[in-house]
Amino acid sequence: MICTAAFDAGAQETNGVPPDKSGYNLFSPTPDKYMREISPDRPDKTDSPFTVDAGHFQLEMDFANLTYDAPNSERGNVTSEDYQIAPMNLKVGVLNNMDVQLVLAPWQWERTQDKTTGTVEYQSGFGDITPRVKVNLIGNDGGFFALALIPYVTLPTAQDHLGAGGVEGGVGIPYAFDVPNWDVGFQTTVSCDRDDVGDGYHAEIDNSVSIGHAVIGPLEYHVEFFSSVSTEQNSDWIGTFDTWFTYQVNKNLVFDGGVYIGVTAAADDWHPWVGMTWRY
């Protein structure tokens, strides 16, 4: 979720002169009066270009989610269901323009059924861990345009073959424009992922656009289109249409709920979730 108000966070000082926040860090937190509007990276796949203010913490998580795939030309006559409990992104603001993050899935359970053979497989356990760093390059505390870099690496900590099976990594490039009364964000991500077959690696390029608007008071409605193209041999592109609501309880707490809907055969069919963001 990208909050348009974050663009105006710097214009809080007398006579409209933005405060100098460069001196704040993890051990010298940004005062409340200078903090940016909360702007989570969830629940969409388009991250926010705004960082968590220095010396503050942010929890972004699903209470629970489901991924459901029905048989199709891409997967064959196979049905799968995947449940996750409390997958989260833990963030801490280190500098005014940088935060560090840890993405993890404490527990997940997957059921896969081959309807041709009647075979059913179950997997469960802890998921992979992904450390990330977000560095804002422009627009963190005001301006028409904001841009950030998010390098990350995924570590193969998953149990029961639920994760990537090897180290993966990449860099996300989220950016946003200050459009009055609208949340408008974009992202391009380039990653190096393990092949589905074998021990090799391939490049993937993801692109997304996210748009949101207030409905009534603190209730907002958002839509997003996401695409992923892989260089792996015989792979098909992934496309999803994502839609959700957010409700901002106060300046530090936001609830959300929605669904990702697959629009190509290679995409997951349905991924509904309910979650929240809390800042301290």
Q: Which domain holds residue 44?
A: 4-279
Q: What is the DSSP string of 242-256?
A: EEEEEEEEETTEEEE
Closest Cα to residue 241, out of 266, 209, 275, 273? Answer: 209
Rounded to whole angstroms, the maximal C-alpha distance in the chain is: 72
In the chain, how many domains are there?
A: 1
pLDDT at 16: 60
pLDDT at 11: 46
State CA 232 to chain mean position distance.
24
pLDDT at 239: 98
Q: pLDDT 10s per residue in the chain (280 long)?
A: 777 667 665 545 545 667 899 999 999 999 999 999 999 999 999 999 999 999 999 999 999 999 999 999 888 999 999 999 999 999 999 999 999 999 999 999 999 999 999 999 999 999 999 999 999 999 999 999 999 999 999 999 999 999 988 999 999 999 999 999 999 999 999 999 999 887 899 999 999 999 999 999 999 999 999 999 999 998 999 999 999 999 999 999 999 999 999 999 999 999 999 999 999 9
d(CA 156, CA 150) in angstroms, rounded, equals: 19
Whether the Cβ atoms of residue 276 and residue 256 lie closer than 8 Å to each other: yes
d(CA 173, CA 147) in angstroms, rounded, equals: 7
d(CA 50, CA 77) in angstroms, rounded, equals: 43
Q: How many CB atoms lie within 10 A of CB 174?
A: 25
Helix (H), strand (E) at residue 102: strand 98-104
pLDDT at 4: 64
Residue 213 maps to which CATH number?
A: 2.40.160.40
pLDDT at 57: 98
Residue located via tokens 């799968």: 80
pTM for the whole structure: 0.93
